[in-house]
Amino acid sequence: MTRRAVVTGVGLVVPGGVGTEAAWRLLSEGRTATRGITLFDATGFRSRLAAEVDFDPEREGLTADEADRMDRYLQFAAVAAREALADAGLDTETENPWRIGVSMGTAVGGTSRLETDYVSTSSHGRDWKVDTEAVSPYLHLALTPSVLAAETAGLAGARGPVQTVSSGCTSGLDAVGYAARLIEDDEADVVIAGAAESPISPIAMACFDAIKATSTRNDEPETASRPFDRERDGFVMGEGGAVLILEDEEHARRRGATIHCAVAGFATHGNAHHMTGLRSEGTEMARAITIALDQAHLDPTDVDYVNAHGSGTRQNDRHETDAVKRALGDHAWSTPMSSLKSMVGHSLGAIGAIELA
């Protein structure tokens, strides 16, 4: 019998809204969470705006020990995972732990703690010899990308396949896609999948300043992120996390779970061209769309809406537009397509999971 992955739980932490209800209000009301950076002093930076999460770990139910141990992106993941598990009505203690998996994505991992601790141990980079007494006892966790999946697995007592996916901006989508395959291949009955990111830090902002990928509309942050707009000038950095509970459809039905949707198709390809550059024709993305539609037994004319990456850079918007036209053909011209990044910014590896949620 063919196994199908369905979504039974959703958890969200996004700029402008912690929790799915708050996030949906932001999006449905068409509000934007972009503003001037407050997480650090951005004076002198080329881009001084971002979409920040107003996040208090204690208010969101994390203990003092968890808040101390976890980098900011791990805190986002924990809060989103707890909401998703509650939404799914899943009691992990009654499930077979060997049949619970985890697939989580992140592009830059523990950037926040790495930067904070380096600054404190080196007198803001002035000293070659670092002060080991000034370092956090949890610094090693920031250097270990697998900690994202490990923390999530610990929260749920998962003993099945556990993986961290780091494939740049597609990390979150890839993590969910791989989670669906674990279920389809009968390696797990339940997979906690998603992504988290907290890249609004001096080092991350400086990196994107250097390649001129971010918007410089510092005086009008609310309208700076404008995907597909004629006057777009780059993306606005964001942060946040999203977690989905994926289950085998029969497993979900047996326990009477509410099924939100199915993950009907997934494909991923690289362009073997450039680390950040894109060819305008979008051949590899079009191929991924076509394969995903074939897996779902859908025709291009069945597509009602395209949720675009839509970063707001000229390269990406042209690449993605051509890819959708190539994959959907004439139907592309009558298919609505937009990007959430105009409201919640671009949270790098987390954004795909957020958009899917």
Task: List residues with catalytic annotation.
Answer: 169, 309, 346
Token pair in block for residue 64:
């003092």
Whether 353 and 238 have beta carbons less than 8 Å apart is answered as: no
Q: Which residues contact residue 290 at a Cβ distance below 8 angstroms, ignoring those fewer than 6 apart?
A: 267, 327
Is the separation of the CB atoms in 195 and 106 below 8 Å? Answer: yes
**What size, in residues, is the chain?**
357
Residue type, 164: T
Q: Give, in order, the Cα–Cα distances in Å from 108 to each of 71, 177, 183.
A: 12, 20, 27
- What is the CB neighbour count within 10 angstroms for residue 124? 8
Residue with token string 């950095």? 237
